[in-house]
Amino acid sequence: MSSFSSINPATGEPVWSGSAATPADVTAAVHRARAAFRIWARTTLPQREARLRCFANMLESRRAVLAEAISREVGKPSWEALTEVTTMIGKIELSISAHARRCADFTGGPAITRFRPHGVVAVFGPFNFPGHLPNGHIVPALLAGNTVVFKPSEHAPLVAELTAAAWRDSGLPMGVLAVVQGGRDTGAALVDSPDVDGLLFTGSARTGLWLAEKFARTPEKILALELGGNNPLVVWHPSDHRAAALLTVQSAFLSAGQRCTCARRLIVPSGPAGDAFLAELVRLIATIRVGPFTDRPEPFMGPVISAAAATQVLAAQASLLARGGIPLVRSRLLQPGTGLLTPGLIDVTSVGDRTDEEIFGPLLQLLRVSDFDAALSEANATRYGLAAGLSADDPALYARFRDEVRAGLINWNQPLTGASGAAPFGGVGQSGNHRPAGFFATDYCSYPVASIEVPELKMPATIPPGLNPF
């Protein structure tokens, strides 16, 4: 059993330390979840709803403690961490509503359809929303009657422990939810477990592709992949440049650019109108406060998840500049040994060999194009398809954009980072496997069973040719 620690990325100070689960620990957790499933799946839906509502009450009573843990482990400003806890609480009633609408038994004559849980499902949590995103899988999975083995990000073990404690104190039976802490080896042991009936994953496209290959020969297991994107934001002659600049900053730099929906590519027309918008954007970027969550006044942006992640972002910036990129604003490391980066904006219009990769941090790539056709073409020049946005006053342009851009989330005059919990969430291409989360997460947490049921066996009125039962 190996030990590991989580580190405050704004200060380098340790936050949590503990032991990583061994393969034997993972096997034991899965077996406990299997035993608990036999009981949990037989509880009534109102009983499960009651447990979820108790969990929501536990979260509400611990809102400040959980938000501080999020800030300490992943660096989010307090205002953003509190918003994450609020979203976790809201997920309960949204999930209950979604289950009622999408998984209700229904009949058609003698045919009836019911929904059953898969069994034991693994949930892998990411670091960027250590509470909200795994919660978005766990809540509908438990509501459907599954049991869960949860492997949180190794960057946020404390958030997971506090969340699990809230579940225990809500009265959730033992074994229904287990947490296995650790890194790659712990996750691999859970993936390889023959007794897991499915995996619900949020994370990088690289890991998602690896998981898809691992599950290719087990079609009986559900695999829900919510991955990243190289998301385009097109700003096309908006009348209010200040509003468009604010939308762009919120799209690109919220959560230090570590939301899977963050804008990675900013597409702007060539010419004076585009220049005027960019001047306003550069001015606004210069005002962004970056710092630890304890800073007052509060920062807009905290750090990226680690000093190593900051190094990767700066290396990506250096590579773009070496290949002809022009810095409008350079990203800089504020303090060695931390993840505190300032936002960057690099004009890559003349970089001919740009790679279609998600740079997971506060680095926005600018592309200047001649017309809206070129903007649409550039927006679709990605193997991903998570989020896309348009800032423009013309409804006809948005109608074209909405119909022609390939993405699972398309916003008009709203930040890309804005998504409704009452709507599906997820992407196409290499941004996922067409199993949208959000309100539709309930769909992959159970499977339909169709039956034709007649209470009394009788001879039919007609008998097929070639049979003589008399």
**Residues with active-site annotation:** 226, 260
Tokens encoding 407: 């993405």
Closest CA to 389 of 258, 234, 266: 234
Q: Which two tokens stand for residue 338?
A: 């931390």
Tokens 């929906």 sit on residue: 261
> Phi, psi (5° rounding) for residue 346?
-120, 125
Per-residue b/e over 18-55, b at no fewer than 16 CB within 10 Å? eebbbeebbbebbebbbebbeebbeeeeeebbebbebb
Whether cis (ω within 30° of 0) applies to the bond prior to 140 is no
Query: What would the DSSP string read from start to end of 282-343?
Result: HHHHTT--B--TT-SSPPSB---S-HHHHHHHHHHHHHHHHTT-EEEE---BSSTTS--B--
Q: Which residues contact 247 (CB under 8 A, 6 or more apart)?
A: 389, 391, 413, 414, 415
Distance separating alpha carbons of residues 358 and 384, to the nearest angstrom: 9
Instruction: Give the span between the Cα atoms of 419 and 439, in whole angstroms.
Output: 11
| Order of strands, sheet of 231-235, starting from the edge strand that comes earlier in the sequence | 326-329, 344-347, 363-369, 263-269, 231-235, 387-391, 409-412
Angle between helices 63-74 and 157-169 (to 10 degrees): 160
Question: Parallel, antiparallel, or unpaired: how do β-strands 409-412 and 387-391 relate?
Answer: parallel
Which residue is listed with tokens 């330390």?
Answer: 17
- Give the tokens for residue 83: 């918003």
